[in-house]
Amino acid sequence: MNQVMMTKIYPRTGDKQTVYLNAVINDTQIEVGDYTIYNDFVADPLLFEKNNVLYHYPIHREKLIIGKFCSIACGTKFLFNCANHTLKSLSTYTFPLFYEEWELKKSNITTAWDNKGDIVIGNDVWIGYEAVIMAGVHIGDGAIIAARAVVTKDVPPYTIVGGTPAKEIRKRFDAEVIQQLLKLKWWDWSADKIRKCLPYIAERKMDELFTIKKDRL
């Protein structure tokens, strides 16, 4: 991800509930693209790492990668691998975690849970209120995650999902438009170019967007 750290924390004057995430992230295992916002009206959004990125311990060095221009609603949680209990054993009890009590090797501590990998969120993704994203999930560009959905599987680009576990509700656009948007990648444009194109984005004027894409703004 080509990441430029935002220097401004709050996008709107007088609004302390909404932050540009990559301006408040310190953990090197969390990558957030430009203009991605997090809103929290319950807790301090500056505490996103502590309150929203859970079971994210250094032992795995797993990553949370979030693209550009994402909108993340209050209470969204990202649950990492250490929240899992292994399903490979006859018991779900985390014996390796308590290696001293059970006289086990400390080096085998990670066998207490199943490692499903990083969480990767694409660009222009909207994650609704109190949604939960589980370890190993990849969410495609332009997807929408409904409020309080529990996402356990990958979500294709420009797909709306909801429920527990989250299932596809519908595609946002037809297949042709989706492919055009994935080719366009407007989120990689300069701020000036995006600003010029906002009317076309709002009005779904794809031809105009592809014409302007060729401009060197």
Residue 85 designated active-site: yes
Reported as a single tens digit per residue, the pLDDT across 133-153 is 999 999 999 999 999 999 999
Angle at 30 between CA 92 and CA 21, to 5 degrees: 120
Mean pLDDT of 44-71: 95
Which token pair is 62? Answer: 């797993």
Reported as a single tens digit per residue, the pLDDT across 63-82 is 999 999 999 999 999 999 98
Query: What rounded mean pLDDT belongs to the chain?
Result: 93
Q: Domain 18-172 belongs to what architecture?
A: 3 Solenoid (2.160)
Give the closest residue to 18 by CA, choosing from 33, 5, 8: 8
Reported as a single tens digit per residue, the pLDDT across 76-108 is 999 999 898 999 999 999 999 999 999 999 999
CA dist 54 and 167 (Å) reads: 23
Domain range summary for the chain, segments of one domain joined by +: 18-172, 173-217
Is 123 exposed, middle or buried, given 0-12, 13-18 or 19+ CB atoms closer than 10 A? Answer: buried
Whether this model's pTM surpasses 0.85? yes
Give every CB contact of residue 125 below 8 A, 6+ residues apart in sequence.
Answer: 66, 67, 70, 71, 139, 140, 141, 142, 143, 144, 145
